Structure 1
Amino acid sequence: MPPTSQPLRTLGFLTIGLFDEADPGRGHTSTLELIELGEQLGFDSAWVRHRHLQYGISSPIAVLAAASQRTSRIALGTAVIPLGWENPLRLAEDLATVDILSGGRLNPGVSVGPPMHYDQVKSALYPDTDDREDFGYERVRRLLDFVRGEPATGFSGTEGFEVFSDRVQPHAPGLGRRMWYGGGSLRSARWAAEHGMNLLTSSVVKAEESEDFAQIQLSHIRTFRDHHPDGERARVSQGLVVIPTDTATPEQRAKYLAYADKRLPRTRAPQGAGRLMFAPDLVGTSAEIAERLSADAAFREVDEVAFALPFTFEHDDYVQILTDIATHLGPALGWRPAS
């Protein structure tokens, strides 16, 4: 194991769930099959990412409801649901339902901010209130309250033959402690901590105090734990793109390297008005990737990861990558598969 501060305790993976517009069923089935494979390989968690009005998973909760019936142990997460597209009360009902169906395995990750391309979608999404919607942290707070069982209404009791509850039903005990915030800024890290959430860090951060990706991410992790009631025990999961090549064919290795090379220029300086910094994709043997991670200041602070699968690859590529992560990279980082 590389000289990290602690062995890797929790190993997960993240998929975007792409599909062909002409055959969307196949893409969704592929995602479910990968989650099943992940459980078989001993992964601790599987996460899905949303894509609205694109050819990727648009309804992660529906996909995870299906996954909950195909698996029995692996944790199921969203990384992340952008709340600008959601009604917190209705989302709380969906989250609680899937958590009950999964036996308490759901790990919802959320984020805030206006929906992407808001000017183009606002008339469809909020035709009457587009100029009055609040896309800030208040939307998360409302969701947390509903998930944690706070009253949603002042009315409860029996009316005729029907019985009404004043809080979201079903109520899923424990789900409130499994809520994650996908944050890429110091402000988000602190807000998530002060509201008792867990923190998802990814391969994208805001360049606020530095232009060194690992140092920026490290500052977010430490700020989060400094302000969380659980302190150093507060949960943080890192989500870099890793592509091990231990059992890859020569053709797959060439494809993986070309993919990473194409994305490398964006990692060299902050991008756009938001000054976003991107982490380089890690491609190589598991031993090589483990060595690079051991030198990553942020990775040394965590014992949970949800490695992101690259976009646009084929199903067989993902099978190879997941198998190498579970059988080569994870053990190289001190991880042991779940039984």
Structure 2
Amino acid sequence: MKKIGFLSFGHWSNHPAYQARTASDTLLQSIDLAVAAEEIGLDGAYFRVHHFAAQLASPFPLLAAIGAKTSRIEIGTGVIDMRYENPLYMVEDAGAADIISGGRLQLGISRGSPEQVIEGWRYFGYAPEEGETDADMGRKKSLQFLDQLKGVGFAQPNPFPMFPNPPGLLRLEPHSEGLRDRIWWGAASNATAEWAAEKGMHLQSSTLKMDESGKPFHIQQAEQIRVYKEAWKKAGHQREPRVSVSRSIFALMNDQDRYFFGQDAKGGDKIGNIEKGKRAIFGRSYAGEPDQLIKELAQDEAIQEADTLLLTIPNTLGVDYNIHILSSILEHVAPGLGWR
């Protein structure tokens, strides 16, 4: 068994072929998509977070809305760039959204990735301290966030408060018990995957990672996952780690599918630079008839190592078509691989 969810980048654009032309379209369709995905038996609804772009940005209102309209499906992010966040305020937002959902949040966070503007986090009022990089700042904020999720009092109460205080130091509210154990780290390298394991975070590995060996993408990603699992074991955590990988997978069931994704059938891994001087490898997309997909996906070592698969979707094509994409994988591909 493998948990299967979708990952939406939440794009919108005033394009005649798009069903999501405005921010309102994307937000409301994201809720409808999560509801429909739960109905067909999908396990997770995950959303990217990008600032200064015509894409989803502030995740917690959306996650709370989905939590209120669903009852079973996991709800998460992949990932929140912590360079932009106030960790304490984020604890309150996350706690509220998790309580609304009944404890179904699975939050992916990260130190950040290339962005739309130069040092966008400065516009949000944040800057690294002297001697720090922006990545250092993102990791430090992540640790603050994790620490405050424990729900331990730390703030000195006012002796003359507006409302009576409980005894002792005060914590952030609302506190959601168990959320600390449902935080994931988006890792692009083996070293950051190992760090995430040491800190007790689950692992999200995307469709790209730093090229550390020149091997095919899925092999490098599988090696990253094994490094993570070994580090988790060595850290002595008393709970089981979880690992998700993201993939673009399209079963070509009709002419419309072939029109949209037929060109992806012969694609391979790609090499590029996501940051100056940093070589990255981007995993291939999978597209084909179900029997062909089953053969190809059975050779993907990283998918075999992961317990959760996030299917990236073209959200601009609308809810109905995306449910068709997801249903095709659940019904015609997943059983042949033992995922269902």
TM-score, L = length of structure 2: 0.86
Match runs of 1:255-270 below 5 Å: 255-258=260-263, 260=264, 264=267, 267-270=269-272
Q: Does 1:182 align with 2:175?
A: no
Structure 2: distance between partners of 1:314 and 1:36: 14
Deviation at 1:217, TM superposition (A): 0.4
8 A Cα contact 1:243 1:309, kept in partner: no
Report the CA distance shift for 1:136/1:64 in structure 2 as closer, same or farther (over 3 A). Answer: closer
- 2:306 maps to 302
Report the CA distance shift for 1:232/1:94 in structure 2 as closer, same or farther (over 3 A). Answer: closer
1:235 aligns with one of 232, 235, 242: 242
Of 324-333 and 278-287, more deviation after overlay is shown by 324-333
- 1:14 maps to 7
Report the CA distance shift for 1:68/1:219 in structure 2 as closer, same or farther (over 3 A). Answer: same
Deviation at 1:330, TM superposition (A): 2.3
Q: Does 1:254 align with 2:255?
A: no
Report the CA distance shift for 1:316/1:158 in structure 2 as closer, same or farther (over 3 A). Answer: same
- 2:156 maps to 155
Q: Describe the superposition over 1:166-224 as per-residue Cα deviations: whole angstroms up to 9, x where unpaired.
A: 22211111111110011110111011000111001111111113332112101110111
Q: Describe the superposition over 1:271-318 as per-residue Cα deviations: whole angstroms up to 9, x where unpaired.
A: 352211111111112332222111112122123211211464344331
Structure 2: distance between partners of 1:296 and 1:52: 32
2:197 aligns with one of 189, 193, 196: 193
Q: Does 1:224 align with 2:228?
A: yes
8 A Cα contact 1:114 1:135, kept in partner: no
What is the identity, as a one-letter code, of the residue corresponding to 1:9? Answer: K
Deviation at 1:69, TM superposition (A): 1.1
Report the CA distance shift for 1:163/1:306 in structure 2 as closer, same or farther (over 3 A). Answer: farther
Deviation at 1:20, TM superposition (A): 3.8
SS at match of 2:247: coil
How many matched pairs? 322
What is the identity, as a one-letter code, of the residue corresponding to 1:250? Answer: D
1:146 aligns with one of 141, 145, 148: 148
8 A Cα contact 2:37 2:323, kept in partner: no
Structure 1: distance between partners of 2:265 and 2:297: 19
SS at match of 2:137: coil
Q: Does 1:106 align with 2:108?
A: no
Structure 2: distance between partners of 1:104 and 1:191: 25
- 1:287 maps to 291
- 1:204 maps to 208
Structure 2: distance between partners of 1:166 and 1:232: 28
What is the identity, as a one-letter code, of the residue corresponding to 1:256? Answer: F
Deviation at 1:233, TM superposition (A): 4.0
Structure 2: distance between partners of 1:110 and 1:64: 15
Structure 2: distance between partners of 1:284 and 1:277: 22
- 2:325 maps to 321
Deviation at 1:158, TM superposition (A): 5.9
8 A Cα contact 1:48 1:77, kept in partner: yes
Q: Unaligned regions of 5+ residues in structure 1, if any?
A: 1-7
How high is the sequence identity, in percent, across the aligned residues? Answer: 29
Q: Unaligned regions of 5+ residues in structure 2, if any?
A: 15-20
What is the identity, as a one-letter code, of the residue corresponding to 2:3? Answer: T
Aligned-pair Cα RMSD in Å: 2.5
Structure 2: distance between partners of 1:150 and 1:179: 17
8 A Cα contact 1:96 1:170, kept in partner: yes
8 A Cα contact 2:10 2:47, kept in partner: yes
Structure 2: distance between partners of 1:222 and 1:85: 30
Structure 1: distance between partners of 2:252 and 2:98: 35
8 A Cα contact 1:11 1:330, kept in partner: no
